[in-house]
């Protein structure tokens, strides 16, 4: 079948066969099918959608466009987590060693930040000399030794996605559930996992702004994972305000270290524990969630998880002196409080505006080839429900440039609202989709 006939079939709203999807994606990955045909297909999928079986074939074809990790030599249950990204989302840095501390293996391949959402790799690279580009053998060896490793995407991993994602970015075809599902899942499933937890962020600072859309994406990814023989769960979490008290690369590493030392903020600690609980159920290393939580709290309190993180940094070439003494991490020249204009309760701490302020400061990138400034960002973020006096810092801006500081201050004016009455505490987790609920989800 000619590629244009396959495009026409999808354009007319018909379901594609496995053979059609595999031949189309296979040809695109090899360079035998031009970008304009792939773009037309992406738009047809965007408008017409795909059924769950088509999405699973698309995911599998994209995964097989590259190398699938051979993790057979890792004997522990291999379970990872993927977050759709948010502001201040440093969960992976804490979660991977915490999950390793309870007998899971976490071979985590992470991405960089783009736009207002930060990336795990940028955060880790703020640790001097930390290597995110291990070879596959080194990566597996670190996971076998300590139970976790976090590295970056290699060029062999799902190359069809790399090409297609760049094309979607410039053809108005990013926000499509079948395309997002295949794009995320083809990379995660190439890690050779037994199970995967998805953290679908929902709110103003996230890709999915409504619960309905976040739920549809979560269910789509869970179905594809299940169809490919993986144990799957998802949590839908609140991204209307930043997670934790910092946003910005090195600042988030400091907060992750504190959380691993059991001194972290309550929201970040809770999301991390709730996530690893689900991972333990997926990996079958716990009797139930209550027992899992008890063990996780213990491993945070007694330093077990922190020691694994420190060891991971060491094995990946990072300077552990910066872990033992975080003042050795990159520091910004200017630290300027952003003051509350009146007394009352924080009613809005808008993740989107705070995220934009961080990008303006240089913590994030607008184009994939831009460098980031590890030192800048915001700390001491006050959250919805916090009581403040007039002039109290709502957060502290860390900047290296006066012009950028002024631009960030202008953006932050829209970030906060103070009310006289105490607002209702927003939920951290909107919904859990797991073995107990999947059958009941439409
Ligand atoms: N992240 C991805 O990797 N792919 C998408 O399509 C969207 C978010």
Choose between 420 and 439: higher pLDDT. 420
Contacts of 154 (CB under 8 A, 6+ apart): 67, 109, 133, 136
**pLDDT of 114 higher than 80:** no
* Token pair of 56 as six digits: 């699973």
**pLDDT of 440 higher than 80:** no
Whole-angstrom Cα distance, residue 87 to residue 383? 13
User: What is the third-level CATH fold of 79-324+430-440?
Assistant: Pyrimidine Nucleoside Phosphorylase; Chain A, domain 2 (3.40.1030)
Q: What is the pLDDT of residues 73-84, one digit of tens each?
A: 999 999 999 999
**pLDDT of 86 higher than 60:** yes
CB atoms under 10 Å from CB of 22, counted, come to: 17
Choose between 392 and 442: higher pLDDT. 392
Q: What is the pLDDT of residues 240-249, one digit of tens each?
A: 999 999 999 9
pLDDT > 90 in the chain, percent: 92
Reported confidence tier of residue 118, pLDDT bands at 50, 70, 90: confident
Whole-angstrom Cα distance, residue 435 to residue 341? 47
The mean of the pLDDT values for the chain is 96
Mutate to test the pocket of ligand 1, among 153, 174, 185 (most ligand atoms within 8 A of CB): 174
Residues in a beta bridge with 346: 418
Reported confidence tier of residue 117, pLDDT bands at 50, 70, 90: confident
Q: How far is CA 353 from CA 119, 247, 336, 407, in A?
A: 18, 12, 17, 12
Domains 3-49 and 332-419 belong to one CATH topology: no
Given the structure tokens 């600072």, which residue do they identify? Answer: 205
Choose between 333 and 438: higher pLDDT. 333
> Which helix (H) or strand (E) element contains residue 307?
helix 304-315
In this prediction, residue 115 carries a pLDDT of: 81
Packing angle between helix 249-260 and helix 304-315, nearest 10 degrees?
Answer: 140
Domain assignments of the chain as residue spans, ordered by start: 3-49, 79-324+430-440, 332-419
Reported confidence tier of residue 122, pLDDT bands at 50, 70, 90: very high
Mutate to test the pocket of ligand 1, among 66, 159, 165 (most ligand atoms within 8 A of CB): 165
Residue-wise over 335-357: b if at least 16 C-beta within 10 A, else e?
ebebebeeebbbbbbbbbbbbbb
82 in catalytic set = yes
User: What is the third-level CATH fold of 3-49?
Assistant: 1.20.970
231 in catalytic set = no
- What is the distance in A from the centroid of ligand 1 to the CA of 165? 7
Q: How far is CA 281 from CA 201, 223, 232, 273, 377, in A?
A: 21, 18, 10, 12, 35
60 in catalytic set = no
Question: Do the bridges between strand 106-110 and strand 148-152 make them parallel or antiparallel, or are there none, so unpaired?
Answer: parallel
Contacts of 424 (CB under 8 A, 6+ apart): none
Q: What is the pLDDT of residues 196-237, one digit of tens each?
A: 999 999 999 998 999 999 999 999 999 999 999 999 999 999
Torsion of CA 299, 305, 306, 309, to 10 degrees: 180
Contact (Cβ atoms closer than 8 angstroms) between residue 168 and residue 201: no
CATH superfamily of domain region 332-419: Pyrimidine nucleoside phosphorylase-like, C-terminal domain (3.90.1170.30)
Reported confidence tier of residue 439, pLDDT bands at 50, 70, 90: low
Ligand 1 cavity residues, CB under 6 Å: 165, 179-180, 183-184
Whole-angstrom Cα distance, residue 41 to residue 236? 30
């Amino acid at each position: 079948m000619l590629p244009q006939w396959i495009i026409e079939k999808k354009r007319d709203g018909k379901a594609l066969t496995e053979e059609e999807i595999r031949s189309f994606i296979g040809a695109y990955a090899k360079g035998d099918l031009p970008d304009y045909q792939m773009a037309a297909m992406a738009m047809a999928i965007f408008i017409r959608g795909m059924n769950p079986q088509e999405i699973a074939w698309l995911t599998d074809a994209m995964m097989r466009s590259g190398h699938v990790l051979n993790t057979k030599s890792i004997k522990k249950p291999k379970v990872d987590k993927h977050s759709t990204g948010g502001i201040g989302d440093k969960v992976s840095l804490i979660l991977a060693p915490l999950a390793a501390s309870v007998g899971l293996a976490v071979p985590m391949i992470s991405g960089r930040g783009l736009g207002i959402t930060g990336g795990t790799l940028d955060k880790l690279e703020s640790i001097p000399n930390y290597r995110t580009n291990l070879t596959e053998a080194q990566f597996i060896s670190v996971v076998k030794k300590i139970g976790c490793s976090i590295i970056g995407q290699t060029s062999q991993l799902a190359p069809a996605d790399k090409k297609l994602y760049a094309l979607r970015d410039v053809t108005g075809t990013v926000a499509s559930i079948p395309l997002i599902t295949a794009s995320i899942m083809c990379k995660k499933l190439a890690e050779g996992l037994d199970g995967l937890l998805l953290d679908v962020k929902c709110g103003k600072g996230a890709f999915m702004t409504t619960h309905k859309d976040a739920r549809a994406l979560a269910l789509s990814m869970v179905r594809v994972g299940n169809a490919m023989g993986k144990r799957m769960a998802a949590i839908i979490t609140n991204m209307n305000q930043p997670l934790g008290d910092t946003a910005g690369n090195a600042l988030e590493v400091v907060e992750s270290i504190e959380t691993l030392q059991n001194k972290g903020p309550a929201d970040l600690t809770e999301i991390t524990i709730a996530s690893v609980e689900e991972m333990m159920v997926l990996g079958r290393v716990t009797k139930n969630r209550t027992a899992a939580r008890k063990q996780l709290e213990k491993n945070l309190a007694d330093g077990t998880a922190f020691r694994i993180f420190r060891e991971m940094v060491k094995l990946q070439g990072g300077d552990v002196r910066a872990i033992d003494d975080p003042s050795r991490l990159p520091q910004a020249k200017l630290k300027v409080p952003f003051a509350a204009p009146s007394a009352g309760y924080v009613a809005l701490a808008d993740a989107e505006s705070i995220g934009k302020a961080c990008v303006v400061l240089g913590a994030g990138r607008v184009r994939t080839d831009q460098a980031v400034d590890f030192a800048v960002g915001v700390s001491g973020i006050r959250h919805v429900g916090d009581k403040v006096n007039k002039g109290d810092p709502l957060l502290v801006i860390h900047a290296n440039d006066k012009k950028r500081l002024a631009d960030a201050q202008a953006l932050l004016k829209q970030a906060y609202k103070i009310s006289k009455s105490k607002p209702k505490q927003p939920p951290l987790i909107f919904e859990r989709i797991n073995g107990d609920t999947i059958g009941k989800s439409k």
